[in-house]
């Protein structure tokens, strides 16, 4: 499709937060509907499903996530986002596609066009899933609970990709566990507020929070074996309204990543122990509150299904364009589709940086950075090709 780059730029200019992807869903639904797919919107909230039935054969699910992040874009691109939105907490926040979901969605539209145009070459069913709320770990679950498979068919394989700061034109793949389990906890620490000039009359929750943040850093260093992969991150600290007022409370947002159930339990238990112990050590007037949100499990790229798909990639792209053994501490909820369907999931990484055109010495921005945005080409062409090649590896070719 000649207008794919413009579709990408449009989605990039108009990002929407998780569970608010109404415009994005409408644009994608219309694009796919024009290709001859049966399109249903509002699946699992703001999800879009496109179905192309083309005779007997396997059902192949191709998935792209569509939500953006509360990040203020700093790429300087002419199509950079200036969007703002109200988040779930009622706060006004900047919004940007700092994780590349706009590229994922555009690639899936391009793959849909290619598969629709070449339907005389294959038989089976292509099931397009434009999934919301990946950043919350809710989208896949919401769509399944809304009857995704009962309404549109159970897939024989689930295929998905994610763009990242790898050389554009390259594909990185792993077999077995490739992305970590993720758990998040919202912590409220309770103190006793007062005047900043008389801290002796207060219990300072800011100091309490600072001790918690520092102490948490010892979990991975001293409680997890060096042979294991684990991460503990404090991504949010909020307290107070004025510099000379000691507040009543402080809030922390803590995230943990792991690949092993025992490590996952150890991390959760350690976080709770440290938070409660530091509150007690500070003389907090009441116990802290910890609210764990639904986590994401380890994403497993099925070894046999991955081998079959990678063989097709090798034939199409050449072995020199493949990077084996990719394992990342980030997390994804796409595996929920395959787990519920009883189908293998295949997941790979798509290079998004054209190093040949970059200024020498310029740092490479990672996903979730305000400066992250993939180069449109050759990323877009490679992403479309990868989805089509992967789908054809599973569809019945005629």
Q: pLDDT at residue 1 above 60?
A: no
Neighbours of 266 (CB within 10 A): 20
Instruction: Could you list the beta-strand ranges (E) of the chain.
Output: 38-43, 47-54, 59-65, 84-86, 92-94, 122-131, 157-167, 171-173, 176-179, 181-190, 194-195, 230-239, 245-246, 249-258, 289-296, 299-301, 322-324, 345-353, 396-397
Q: pLDDT at residue 2 above 70?
A: no
Question: Looking at the structure, do residues 279 and 149 belong to the same domain, yes or no?
Answer: no
Mean pLDDT, all residues of the chain: 96
Question: Looking at the structure, do residues 10 and 128 belong to the same domain, yes or no?
Answer: yes
Question: Looking at the structure, do residues 263 and 384 belong to the same domain, yes or no?
Answer: no
Domain finish residue from 239, 274, 296? 296
Question: Looking at the structure, do residues 355 and 383 belong to the same domain, yes or no?
Answer: yes
Question: Looking at the structure, do residues 21 and 164 belong to the same domain, yes or no?
Answer: yes
Sign of CA pseudo-dihedral 199, 205, 208, 209: negative
Write out pLDDT tens, residues 180-232.
999 999 999 999 999 999 999 999 999 999 999 999 999 999 999 999 999 99
**Binding site for Mn(2+): which residues?**
99, 101, 135, 162, 368
pLDDT at 198: 97
pLDDT at 252: 98
Q: pLDDT at residue 122 above 90?
A: yes
Question: Looking at the structure, do residues 326 and 358 belong to the same domain, yes or no?
Answer: yes
Q: pLDDT at residue 89 above 90?
A: no
**Binding site: which residues?**
99, 101, 135, 162, 368
Provide, rounded to the nearest whole percent, the portion of the chain with pLDDT above 70.
Answer: 99
Q: pLDDT at residue 314 above 70?
A: yes
Write out pLDDT tens, residues 10-54.
999 999 999 999 999 999 999 999 999 999 999 999 999 999 999
Per-residue pLDDT averaged across 241-255, rounded? 97
Question: Looking at the structure, do residues 149 and 244 belong to the same domain, yes or no?
Answer: no
Provide, rounded to the nearest whole percent, the portion of the chain with pLDDT above 90.
Answer: 95
Question: Looking at the structure, do residues 209 and 285 belong to the same domain, yes or no?
Answer: yes
Write out pLDDT tens, residues 282-297.
999 999 999 998 789 9
Q: How many domains does the chain have?
A: 2
Domain finish residue from 271, 296, 321? 296
Q: Please report, for the domain that includes residue 339, its CATH number.
A: 3.40.630.10
Q: Please report, for the domain that includes residue 284, its CATH number.
A: 3.30.70.360
Tell me which DSSP letter residue 322 carries. Answer: E
Question: Looking at the structure, do residues 292 and 302 belong to the same domain, yes or no?
Answer: no
Question: Looking at the structure, do residues 269 and 316 belong to the same domain, yes or no?
Answer: no
Domain finish residue from 296, 313, 337? 296
Q: Which tokens go with 46?
A: 């703001």
Q: pLDDT at residue 233 above 80?
A: yes
Q: pLDDT at residue 359 above 90?
A: no
At 361, the pLDDT band (50, 70, 90 cuts) reads confident
Please check whether residue 255 is in contact with residue 233, taking contact to mean a CB–CB distance below 8 angstroms. yes
**Domain that residue 84 falls in:** 4-178+298-397
Question: Looking at the structure, do residues 260 and 364 belong to the same domain, yes or no?
Answer: no
Q: How many residues does the chain have?
A: 398
Question: Looking at the structure, do residues 127 and 22 belong to the same domain, yes or no?
Answer: yes
């Amino acid at each position: 499709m000649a207008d794919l780059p413009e579709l990408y730029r449009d989605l990039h200019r108009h990002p929407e937060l998780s569970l608010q992807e109404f415009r994005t869903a409408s644009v994608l639904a219309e694009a796919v509907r024009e290709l001859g797919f049966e399109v249903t919107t509002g699946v699992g909230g703001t999800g879009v499903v496109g179905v192309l039935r083309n005779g007997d054969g396997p059902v192949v699910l191709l998935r792209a996530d569509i939500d953006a992040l509360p990040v203020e874009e700093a790429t300087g691109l002419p199509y950079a986002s200036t969007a703002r939105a109200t988040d779930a907490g009622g706060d006004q926040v900047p919004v940007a596609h700092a994780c590349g979901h706009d590229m994922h969605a555009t690639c899936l539209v391009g793959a849909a066009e290619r598969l629709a145009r070449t339907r005389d070459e294959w038989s089976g069913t292509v099931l397009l899933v434009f999934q919301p709320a990946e950043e919350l770990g809710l989208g896949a679950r919401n769509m399944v609970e809304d009857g995704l498979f009962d309404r549109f068919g159970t897939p024989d394989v689930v295929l998905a990709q994610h763009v990242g700061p790898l050389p554009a034109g390259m594909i990185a793949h792993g077999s077995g566990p490739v992305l970590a389990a993720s758990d998040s906890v919202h912590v409220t620490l309770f103190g006793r507020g007062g005047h900043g000039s008389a801290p002796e009359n207060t219990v300072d929750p800011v100091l309490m929070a600072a001790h918690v943040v520092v102490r948490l850093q010892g979990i991975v260093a001293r409680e997890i074996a060096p042979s294991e992969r684990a991460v503990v991150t404090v991504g949010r600290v909020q307290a107070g309204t004025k510099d000379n007022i000691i507040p009543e409370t402080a809030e922390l947002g803590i995230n943990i990543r792991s690949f092993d159930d025992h490590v996952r339990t150890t991390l959760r238990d350690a976080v709770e122990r440290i938070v409660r112990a530091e509150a007690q050590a500070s003389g907090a007037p009441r116990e802290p509150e910890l609210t764990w949100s639904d986590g994401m499990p380890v994403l497993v790229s099925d070894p046999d299904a991955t081998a079959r798909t990678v063989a097709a990639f090798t034939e199409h792209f050449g072995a020199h364009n493949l990077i084996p053994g990719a394992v990342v501490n980030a997390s994804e909820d796409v595996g929920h589709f395959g787990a519920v369907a009883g189908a293998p999931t295949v997941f790979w990484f798509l290079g998004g940086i054209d190093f040949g055109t970059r200024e020498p010495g310029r740092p490479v921005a990672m996903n979730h950075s305000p400066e992250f945005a993939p180069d449109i080409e050759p990323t877009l062409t490679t992403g479309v090709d990868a989805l089509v090649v992967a789908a054809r590896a599973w569809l019945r070719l005629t």
